[in-house]
């Protein structure tokens, strides 16, 4: 099974996939997610056994049938140690497993990730801040963590600590902490511990709940630069999401210094993927919090601009302009 698993993973990485999906419902189906599409991987005899093998590697309970489980493991492929997270859901007639490949990507320099010069300038300005909260938003698989890593990697000579679930790219220059609820290492507890180590910059993998949101605000209020991600469809909705999580408008006025909402696109006529952004700077954030009538940056305008520059195809532009 190890040889077969490595074969599947190597093929998925060749396609630049982020996840591999295993589905059993009368027959075996293996697919990998490449950008927003699923691509089939040809199956072989006994591939159904991969479910049990992946459970074993992930240190799951092999006797448990009905309970959803997830776990992590490392595997050496072509003399490099890769990290994976596996989640499985089973019923009496259906098995579904998703294998996420965590650390085979490299951090992308800002000048390569961001095509628009004005936006690169803003991101570089954010990297120079000494305190405050910078949030990166967007839907699932829009490249939020990739952007966050690019920002962190641009910050030279600063003491950076991260709290992630999971760690997706490893950096020698940062202290990266893997969240592990089994040993009570939650975002809440992790933030309490790392604040004792005098960090300059703190990266919180994702703000998912009220506790994490309030801890991020607390870190920013105590003089740290905090970067995090959040699921939201626009910069305005990112602000509303924080308010819904119990963050006061006054705290947001104090600490929120930058918002980026993004989508991932295939560069027209090329294999490379790039991000397009709707950016709110400090003045945009304050205007939004005070309900001022202002001309806010528009994601739709950014898509139209990218199409005019022939960065993205007409089909991609049309699909993403509402």
Predicted local distance difference test score (pLDDT) of residue 231: 95
Is-contact 17 39, C-beta < 8 A? yes
Cβ contact 297:235 at 8 Å? yes
Residue partners of 12: CB distance under 8 A and separation at least 6: 20, 32, 41, 101
Tens of each residue's pLDDT in the chain, 322 residues: 899 999 999 999 888 888 999 998 888 999 998 876 889 999 988 888 998 899 999 888 877 767 888 888 888 888 888 888 899 988 777 889 999 887 666 678 888 888 899 999 999 999 999 999 999 999 887 889 889 999 999 997 899 999 988 787 778 888 988 887 777 788 888 888 888 888 999 999 999 999 999 999 999 999 999 999 999 999 999 999 999 999 999 999 999 999 999 988 877 666 677 789 999 999 999 999 998 877 777 888 888 888 888 888 888 888 776 5
Q: What is the pLDDT of residue 264?
A: 83
pLDDT the model gives residue 6: 93
According to the 3-state scheme, what is the secondary structure of 228-265?
EEEECCCHHHHHHHHHHCCCCHHHHHHHEEEEEEEEEE
CB half-sphere exposure, 5, CA atoms < 13 A: 21
Beta bridge partners, 276, equal 263
| Of residues 302, 273, 293, 318, the one with CA closest to residue 122 | 302
pLDDT of residue 227: 97
- Provide CB contacts within 8 A for 266, sequence distance 6+: 35, 272, 273, 312, 313, 316
What pLDDT is attached to residue 269? Answer: 64
CA gap 73, 54 in Å, rounded: 9
Phi first, then psi, for residue 106 (nearest 5°) are -110, 150
Which domains occur in the chain, in start order? 2-101 (3.30.450.90), 110-320 (3.40.50.300)
Q: Which residue has the tokens 């938003």?
A: 137
């Amino acid at each position: 099974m190890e040889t077969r698993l490595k074969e599947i993973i190597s093929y998925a990485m060749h396609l630049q996939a982020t996840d591999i999906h295993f589905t059993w419902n009368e027959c075996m189906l293996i697919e990998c997610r490449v950008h927003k599409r699923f691509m089939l991987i040809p199956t072989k005899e006994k591939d159904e056994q991969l479910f049990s093998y992946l459970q074993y590697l992930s240190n799951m309970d092999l006797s448990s049938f009905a309970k959803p489980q997830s776990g992590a493991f490392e595997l050496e492929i072509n003399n490099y140690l890769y990290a994976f997270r596996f989640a499985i859901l089973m019923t009496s007639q259906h098995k579904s497993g998703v294998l996420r490949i965590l650390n085979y990507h490299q951090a992308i320099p800002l000048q390569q990730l961001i095509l628009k010069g004005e936006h690169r300038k803003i991101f570089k300005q954010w990297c120079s801040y000494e305190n405050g909260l910078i949030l990166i938003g967007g839907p699932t698989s829009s490249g939020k963590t990739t952007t966050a890593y690019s920002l962190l990697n641009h910050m030279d000579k600063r003491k950076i600590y991260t709290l992630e679930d999971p760690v997706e790219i490893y950096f020698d220059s940062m202290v990266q902490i893997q969240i592990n609820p089994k040993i009570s290492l939650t975002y809440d507890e992790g933030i309490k511990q790392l604040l004792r180590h005098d960090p300059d910059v703190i990266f919180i993998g994702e703000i998912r709940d009220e506790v994490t949101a309030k801890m991020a605000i607390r870190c920013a209020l105590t003089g740290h630069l905090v970067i995090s991600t959040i699921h939201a469809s626009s910069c305005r909705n990112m602000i509303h999401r924080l308010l819904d999580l119990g963050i006061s408008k006054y705290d947001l006025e104090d600490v929120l210094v930058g918002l980026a909402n993004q989508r991932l696109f295939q560069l027209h006529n090329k294999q490379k993927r790039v991000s397009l952004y709707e950016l709110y700077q400090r003045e945009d954030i304050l205007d939004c919090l005070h309900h001022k009538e202002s001309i806010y940056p528009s994601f739709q305008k950014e898509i139209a601009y990218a199409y005019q520059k022939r960065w993205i195809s007409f089909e991609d532009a049309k699909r993403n302009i509402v």
